[in-house]
């Protein structure tokens, strides 16, 4: 079956995480993604990961996480011939995505208005920290800086540990996901209008969208989000110690609340409205602490889930990855062989399934410049041309 973006050509001039992840999500859905990197100053993520030997080989796990299904070409875009090659690539491309500082590509003559003249149907996506304009338009940031600036850190942790950043680069991944959605939307729009599009994506905007309910609440009554750690405003939707570890309850609605206390043997505590539950948090929590300490977290998870009560034991990554549900969902892809590595590499692929024509991976993450000859020859360059480009440091 044909995947959604088969036949779509994307020029990916991004680095680190958000931009590469956006292009990666389109790549696993069939797009032909050509990743462009400087021949000497490659994507920083190639040097990121727990295995230093892989980092030295420019194949760090940070890069491989979102490198599958992409082809790799090296171009020095500060050299005219490098920009000429990029323009040839863009001539028949559908999408170009970049995440350099605002104005950098315009100054080089490869901004949206420049590329629009070459290809009026081009979708050009710029991904930055704060957007292309405004008081912060010229500033830069990474995930953790945006977490700090956006209010995410202020709402995370406990009253004793606050503020604290989220343990994974959630803003980067959310920005990448939102970027892929924006590109897909622009492609769909182009089917109706025939026109290209310019997308101005900002990490700060995404961070606020991820706090949408908090933003609306504060704008309405001026109450700030308080760091509550593992405690929710409802006792039946909070974290508790069990016989051997932590269990997170998520019995939020009234039906779940009733089923929780029914199965625990305290039916009189169930079927209460939200105001009552908030006002009687301490009494409910005290009972739950007492009862849940009697069994292990796994025993409680199995028991409660069997009674349709949302609950999950708190697990480290090694245990989480052993969950048989992940195998059934096929969210992970195992590369038996990747150039530049010594053993199989497993990467997350996509967070949804299609009935047909869904996400898949056919190509392992590429070595830096692995497809230079293949791509350049398709543009009409001869072997002699390519050797000259290499000798002059253009590729």
Per the domain annotation, does 363 fall within a domain? yes
Task: Tell me the Ramachandran region of residue 158: left when phi exceeds 0, alpha when psi lies from -120 to 50, beta otherwise.
Answer: beta
Per the domain annotation, does 221 fall within a domain? no
Residue where the block lists tokens 């700030």: 224
Say whether both 54 and 163 belong to one domain. Answer: yes
Q: Would you call 187 exposed, middle or buried from its count of C-beta atoms within 10 A (0-12, 13-18, 19+)?
A: buried
According to DSSP, the β-strands at 197-202 and 239-241 are unpaired
Per the domain annotation, does 227 fall within a domain? no
Residue ranges in the chain modelled with pLDDT below 70: 1
Mention every residue, 6+ apart, whose C-beta is less than 8 A from residue 12: 19, 20, 23, 33, 34, 35, 36, 70, 97
Say whether both 194 and 340 belong to one domain. Answer: yes
Say whether both 258 and 387 belong to one domain. Answer: no
Q: Which of 290, 320, 350 is where one domain is finished?
A: 320
Say whether both 316 and 338 belong to one domain. Answer: no
Per the domain annotation, does 41 fall within a domain? yes
Give me the chain's average pLDDT, please.
96
Say whether both 262 and 378 belong to one domain. Answer: no
Say whether both 316 and 339 belong to one domain. Answer: no
243: tokens are 């016989």
Say whether both 56 and 136 belong to one domain. Answer: yes
Q: Which of 320, 341, 357 is where one domain is finished?
A: 320
Q: Which of 320, 355, 379 is where one domain is finished?
A: 320
Say whether both 250 and 197 belong to one domain. Answer: no
Count of structural domains within the chain:
2
Say whether both 100 and 245 belong to one domain. Answer: no
57 neighbors 340 (Cβ within 8 angstroms): yes
Per the domain annotation, does 2 fall within a domain? no
Instruction: Read off the pTM.
Output: 0.95
Say whether both 106 and 189 belong to one domain. Answer: yes
Give catalytic residues, as residue numbers.
172
Per the domain annotation, does 250 fall within a domain? yes
205 neighbors 128 (Cβ within 8 angstroms): no
Per the domain annotation, does 348 fall within a domain? yes
Per the domain annotation, does 138 fall within a domain? yes
Say whether both 159 and 21 belong to one domain. Answer: yes
Structural domain boundaries enclosing 72: 9-210+330-391
pLDDT tens, 241-272? 999 999 999 999 999 999 999 999 999 999 89
Q: Which of 311, 314, 315 minimizes the C-alpha distance to 291?
A: 311
**H or E element that contains 333:** strand 332-335
The total of other beta-carbon atoms located within 10 Å of residue 27's CB is: 29
Say whether both 295 and 369 belong to one domain. Answer: no
Question: Which CATH number do you get for residue 20?
Answer: 3.40.50.10540
Question: Which CATH number do you get for residue 304?
Answer: 3.30.1540.10
Res 224: pLDDT: 86
């Amino acid at each position: 079956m044909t995947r959604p973006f088969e036949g779509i050509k994307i020029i990916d001039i991004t680095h680190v995480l958000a931009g590469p992840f956006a292009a990666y999500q389109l790549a696993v859905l069939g797009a032909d993604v050509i990743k462009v990197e400087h021949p000497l100053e490659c994507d920083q993520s190639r040097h990121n990961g727990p295995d230093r030997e892989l980092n030295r080989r420019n194949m760090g796990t940070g890069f491989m996480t979102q490198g599958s299904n992409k082809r790799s070409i090296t171009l020095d875009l500060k050299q005219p011939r490098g920009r000429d090659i990029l323009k040839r690539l863009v001539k028949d491309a559908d999408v170009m995505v970049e995440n350099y500082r605002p104005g950098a590509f315009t100054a080089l003559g490869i901004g949206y208005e420049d590329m629009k003249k070459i290809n009026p149907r081009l979708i050009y996506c710029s991904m930055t920290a704060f957007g292309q304009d405004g008081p912060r338009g010229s500033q830069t940031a990474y995930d953790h800086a945006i977490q700090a600036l956006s209010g995410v850190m202020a709402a995370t942790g406990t009253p004793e540990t606050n503020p604290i950043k989220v343990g994974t680069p959630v803003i980067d991944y959310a920005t990448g996901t939102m970027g892929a959605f924006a590109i897909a939307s622009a492609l769909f729009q182009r089917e109706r209008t025939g026109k290209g599009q310019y997308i101005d994506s900002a990490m700060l905007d995404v961070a606020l969208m991820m706090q949408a309910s908090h933003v609306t609440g504060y704008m309405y009554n001026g109450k700030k989000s308080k760091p509550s750690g593992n405690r929710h405003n409802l006792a039946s939707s909070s974290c508790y110690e069990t016989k051997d570890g932590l269990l997170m309850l998520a019995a939020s609605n009234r039906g779940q609340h009733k089923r929780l206390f029914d199965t625990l043997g305290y039916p009189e505590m169930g079927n209460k409205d939200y105001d009552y539950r908030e006002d009687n948090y301490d009494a409910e929590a005290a009972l739950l602490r007492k009862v849940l300490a009697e069994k292990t977290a796994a025993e409680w998870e199995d028991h409660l889930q069997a009674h349709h009560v949302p609950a999950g034991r708190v697990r480290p990554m090694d245990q989480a990855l052993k969950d048989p549900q992940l195998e059934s969902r096929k969210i992970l892809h195992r590369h038996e062989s990747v150039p530049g590595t010594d053993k199989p590499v497993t990467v997350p692929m996509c967070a949804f399934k299609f009935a047909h024509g869904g996400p898949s991976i056919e190509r392992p993450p590429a070595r830096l410049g692995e497809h230079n000859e293949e791509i350049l020859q398709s543009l009409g360059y001869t072997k002699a041309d390519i050797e000259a480009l290499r000798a002059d440091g253009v590729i």
